[in-house]
A = this chain, B = another copy of it.
Amino acid sequence: MTNPIFPTLCVVGPGLIGSSVLRRAKLDRSIAHRLIAYDRNPSVLERARALELADVVTDDLTAAVADADCVMLCVPVGAIPEVAAKALPAMKPGAILTDVGSTRRSVLDGVLPFLRPDVAYVPAHPMAGTEHSGPDAGFSTLFEQRWCLLTPIDNTPPNAIARMEALWHAMGARTRIMDVEHHDKVCAIVSHLPHLIAFTICGTADTLADEMRSEVLDFAASGFRDFTRIAASDPTMWRDIFLHNRKALLEVLDRFSDDAKNMADAIRGGDDATIVATIERGRRIRRSLIENKQA
């Protein structure tokens, strides 16, 4: 048997992302020989046990991380710093701390004060997910063909980065190393703004007069439905993402609002050319996606 990437892997928060990592790791012990899962929530622990997500499922964070060669925090971004602060003192020298948070700058700022020189921190954001959450929502193929963005800091040892890349490759993902600020901008436009807009438009529909709302539901298939799927995602996770990527998100939201205002003005003024130009710009992005085999 070849050596696994990590003898022991500990997942903190076996929800959608964490349980998917565990499921994939269980399929093939080349990622880790031994799997540990920690959660604070008794019902999550119960499901994790019933689903046999790990060799050890515990509510004792210190015990969970003490033996691990890699500790992966899969909790909402707002909770990552406090969980890191509790986990770090119990980790063994030479181990790697990582997380899967969807925002980077604020998480990094929150975690930095608690870092130890003998534990490498390698933040990684797998660009994969669904609108569901919790341990039952995960599946082993979630990361296949998807990207995982690593945002190591200046003093992260190269071999720690290499091991985390190996872990995500073993999950079926492609990896890319990215600067923290750049990560937050790219994610603001490809993920955070679309979610914010989807939540907002569904909210707008919900505040319509009662009679209209029932018809919104009846006739949702024509465009609206796609937005509701996005908008079904977990409130805590998204509240945290919006607050923690505030700067980049508000910047792209500003741009979008200007563009929407220009479109409104064009429609109000019957300005054919501007309307068609905006539509064509939108289509161009779609065509590029199809060429990129991402559509």
Point out residues on A near B: beta carbons under 8 Å: 127-129, 146-147, 149, 176, 185-187, 189-208, 212, 215-233, 235-236, 238-239, 242-243, 246, 249-250, 252-257, 259-261, 263-264, 267-268, 270, 272, 275-276, 278-289, 292, 294-295
Contacts and interface: CB of A to CB of B under 8 A. Distances in A.
A202 B288 CA distance: 11
Nearest to A291: B217
Contacts of A239: 272, 275-276, 279
B253 A202 contact: no
A193 B201 contact: yes
A contacts with B: majority SS: helix
Given A225-B289, A228-B282, 8 more contacts: A190-B219, A202-B284, A202-B285, A204-B259, A218-B292, A242-B267, A250-B268, A253-B260
B191 A129 contact: no
Contacts of A176: 218
Contacts of A221: 127-128, 146-147, 294
A156 B219 CA distance: 25
14 contacts: A189-B208, A190-B223, A191-B223, A198-B282, A200-B278, A202-B284, A203-B282, A204-B252, A206-B284, A225-B295, A231-B282, A232-B282, A235-B276, A242-B267
A195 B223 contact: yes
Given A147-B218, A189-B216, A202 B286 contact: yes
A133 to B, nearest CB: 11
**Most B Cβ at <10 Å: residue of A197, A284, A288:** A197
Contacts of A202: 281-286
Contact of A255 (B199, B204, B267): B204
Given A199-B263, A200-B259, A238-B279, A191 B286 contact: no
Contacts of A285: 202-203, 205-206, 216-217, 228, 231
A275 B229 contact: no
A275 B253 CA distance: 15
B289 A197 contact: no
A230 to B, nearest CB: 6
Contact of A204 (B189, B191, B201, B267): B189
Contacts of A128: 221-222
Contacts of A127: 219, 221-222
B229 A190 contact: no
